[in-house]
Amino acid sequence: PAPALPPPISLYSLVPKLMSCNSLFVDGMNVLFIVADDLRPALGCYGDSLVKSPNIDQLASRSVVFQNAYAQQAVCAPSRVSFLTGRRPDTTRLYDFHSYWRVHAGNYSTIPQYFKENGYTTMSVGKVFHPGISSNHSDDYPYSWSMPPFHPSAEKYENSKTCKGKDGELHANLVCPVDVAEVPLGTLPDIQSTEEARRLLNIMKTKNRKFFLAVGYHKPHIPLRYPQEFLKLYPLENITLAPDPRVPEELPAVAYNPWMDIRQREDVQALNVSFPYGPIPEDFQRQIRQSYFAAVSYLDTQVGRLLNALDDVGLSNNTIVMFTADHGWSLGEHGEWAKYSNFDVATRVPLMFYVPGKTSSFARPGERVFPYLDPFTHVSGSVAAGKAKKMVELVSLFSTLAELAGLWVPPVCPEPSFHVEEDYDTDYDHDYDIEGDHEEPIAFSQYPRPADTPQWDSDKPELKDIKIMGYSMRTVDYRYTVWVGFNPSNFSANLQDVHAGELYMVGSDPNEDHNIYNSSLHGNLVRKFLRFLRR
């Protein structure tokens, strides 16, 4: 069988400690669930001094901000199915994009489904579930949603030739600042999603309905396509390379992702970058980083307009707001781009919860909680209301949101659960110890590979082609990853078949550049971790 990874840590239990109150949940609260795509914590509220994100920073200043939150797999569909069901990829059996968990793994309920069953009107706008078979070509409607999910009409042009090149022609580029007035439909998907979410908030206010509204933004997912004026925030001369732009000598070949989706963009193809390691020319590396940061600031304006709508309709005092991302994104660290790895830059995400009257005081009559802040003029100075530094996981969102909203948190479901009509997996509130003498919070991630060396499908192998699984755990002191044999026909990992390992002591090596797995000084830790996985 796959390793019996432990149940998620409760985030709920951390929040009242920070806020010094005995009870956090507020019965009857609405929920605004905001998820960005491919967003690492490149935000002012996470200490990034370059990125301009005043609206998300303002949300953070009224929230509990989790400094060390991690996705369970750094690719869209597996991560989203994992955190929306509260289950790890080894349980959902989704490591790629090509199966629907209710058919292939178990009839696992989702966060919005549970809120729907508890009297909420549940709505999906934009990219919440990953589209396609992994959500039954329906975003799991009608199980999860009270009405058909909304997808912006401009979404179909995201990968079209809409990027004006130096030759004056239109291309399907990676770096793609655009004049919004000139693109098809004269708008962009995230702008449309914000408009639809604002419309739904007005309807919910008018009808006085308790709601769970999920809004999924596309940016900063590639292509890095955003209104061109955001480039002004990031002059190219201010953009540096990653602090560690070269492939580490001690990095096992199996751990490297060759960023194939980046290579398929026309502007990258023109560079004739060698496979698998590149590198991309330094001047273009700076352009990628510049456009990623610009896309984050564009995202921030959409989040700002959405939150401002809560004030407009008078719902800021009775709506819980959660903000996160499905995973991070490498910006040249370790010579890698995109996600598809177990490194912090790919697995660590922003995560914050705003709970009216608890993480921030209730707004007085006429007072705005979330006034819109223009990133072109606003001077940032927000400080988060509360910061939690423990290692936490997105798989904990189900139980956390249920408890914050005052809902009963369901028990662990039976095993197997194919024939259970409704079941939930919310066993939580545990810390884990591999040293044997103290409790220690741990975040787990994993990533599949088709071979020991980089292949054309190393980033996104189909289930049938997975030969190796990299199980990774992150503690406050280190990241340990073991790459073991994997049998896709029965979803089993062979912990005796170790292909490679990684060990980074993040206190002295915060960028995870120096792999000391083969050091005899740490052999005892390695053996303990393998025993931990076998439990």
Give percent of the chain with pLDDT exceeding 70.
88
Report whether pLDDT(21) > 60: no
Alpha-carbon distance of 463 to 456, in angstroms, equals 15
Q: Which segment of 89-103, 284-298, 299-313, 398-412 scores lowest on mean pLDDT?
A: 398-412
Nearest to 400 by CA among 21, 111, 190: 111
Higher pLDDT, 436 or 254: 254
Helix runs in 34-153, H state only: 54-61, 76-85, 89-92, 101-104, 111-117
pLDDT digit string, tens, across residues 355-392: 999 999 999 988 999 999 999 999 876 565 678 889 99
How much is the pLDDT for 531? 72
Enter the tokens of residue 526. Answer: 């390695």
Sequence-distant (6+) residues with CB within 8 A of 272 are none
Q: List pLDDT tens digits, range 315-337.
A: 999 999 999 999 999 999 999 99
Instruction: Give the Cα separation of 348 and 392 in Å (integer).
Output: 10
For range 280-291, the mean pLDDT: 98
- Residues belonging to the active site: 76, 130
Its pTM stands at: 0.93
What residue type is 365 in one-letter code?
A: P
Our CA dihedral for 97, 69, 479, 47, rounded to 10 degrees, sits at 120
Asked whether the beta carbons of 67 and 388 are under 8 A apart, the reply is yes
Structure tokens at 168: 């004056």
How many angstroms separate the CA atoms of 284 and 175, rounded? 9
pLDDT at residue number 10: 53
Average the pLDDT over 467-471 and give the result.
98
Distance of CA 320 to the CA centre of its chain: 19
| Position 519 confidence tier, pLDDT thresholds 50, 70, 90 | confident
The length of the chain in residues reads 535
In this prediction, residues 480-505 reach a mean pLDDT of: 95
Q: What is the mean pLDDT of the chain?
A: 90
